[in-house]
């Protein structure tokens, strides 16, 4: 699929069928996800792929009431694949203490260096690669955040790793279009001229 078409087709799916996703497709998606950019080539973004039904049901529990209020099905529970995206700040901080990085940043304090926590930037890049790779596979994807402590306990995620959210992958259900993005239904996408500033703000 042409890249422009992949981007144009990407949207957050909010209803999935129970059809399983082929393991080979998951493998290809994850191979693309690990190729995202990372500051200093630190590679401090990791993933927990969850396909086991009971674990997915546990992950989905807190979302049920929220989706009921919004009129959505519990699409977290429906999705046959959950990919929990995790970022590890310590990997980045350690990488930037190595000799090649210290030569460049020796006069920059850690506070100034990490004013922007780039591990979250890189995790966001990985998340977008997952969403786009999923579309490229002819599948549907969504993303939800929240439940950091619960995800950590449920999936044995180490303390140094922060789960930023869950990418949901599956086959879009026939009724998915009726659960469009409520915000997008009420708000237009801002025009290019409003969001792109040339030379100066």
Segment 171-196, tens digit of pLDDT: 988 776 666 655 555 678 899 999 99
SS3 42: coil
Pick the closest to residue 126 from 36, 25, 30, 10 (CA basis).
Answer: 36
> In the chain, what percentage of residues exceed pLDDT 90?
76
Neighbouring-strand partners of residue 134:
none
Buried b (16+ CB within 10 A) or exposed e, 166-186: bbbbbbbbeebeebeeeeeee
Domain ranges of the chain: 3-178
Pick the closest to residue 86 from 31, 166, 171 (CA basis).
Answer: 166
Give 28's pLDDT tier (boundaries 50, 70, 90). very high
- The CATH architecture that domain 3-178 belongs to is 3-Layer(aba) Sandwich (3.40)
- Residue 152 and residue 159 in contact, taking contact as beta carbons nearer than 8 Å: yes
pLDDT of residue 69: 63
Taking the C-alpha atoms of residue 115 and residue 118, their distance in angstroms, rounded to an integer, is 9
Q: What residues have CB less than 8 Å from 131, skipping those under 6 apart?
A: 10, 141, 143, 167
Give the mean pLDDT of 82-88: 98
pLDDT tens track for 88-123: 999 999 999 999 999 999 999 999 999 999 999 999
pLDDT tens track for 41-69: 999 999 999 999 999 999 999 887 765 66
> DSSP letter string over 43-85?
--EEEEEE--HHHHHHHHTTHHHHHHHHT---HHHH-SEEEEE
């Amino acid at each position: 699929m042409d890249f422009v078409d992949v981007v144009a087709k990407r949207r957050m799916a909010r209803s999935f069928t129970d059809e399983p996703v082929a393991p080979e497709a998951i493998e290809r998606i994850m191979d693309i996800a690990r190729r995202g950019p990372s500051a200093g080539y630190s590679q401090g973004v990791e993933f927990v792929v969850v396909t086991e039904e009971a674990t997915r049901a546990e992950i989905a529990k807190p979302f049920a009431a929220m989706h009921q209020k919004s009129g959505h099905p519990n699409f977290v529970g429906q999705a046959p694949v959950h990919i929990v995206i995790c970022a590890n700040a310590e990997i980045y901080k350690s990488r930037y203490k190595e000799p090649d990085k210290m030569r460049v940043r020796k006069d920059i304090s850690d506070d100034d260096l990490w004013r922007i926590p780039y591990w979250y930037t890189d995790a966001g890049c990985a998340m977008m690669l997952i969403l786009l790779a999923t579309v490229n596979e002819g599948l549907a994807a969504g993303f939800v955040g929240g439940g950091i402590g619960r995800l950590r306990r449920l999936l044995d995620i180490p303390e140094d790793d922060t789960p930023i959210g869950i990418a949901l992958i599956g086959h879009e259900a026939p009724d998915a279009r009726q659960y469009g993005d409520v915000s997008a239904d009420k708000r237009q996408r801002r025009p290019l001229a409003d969001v792109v500033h040339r030379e100066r703000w």
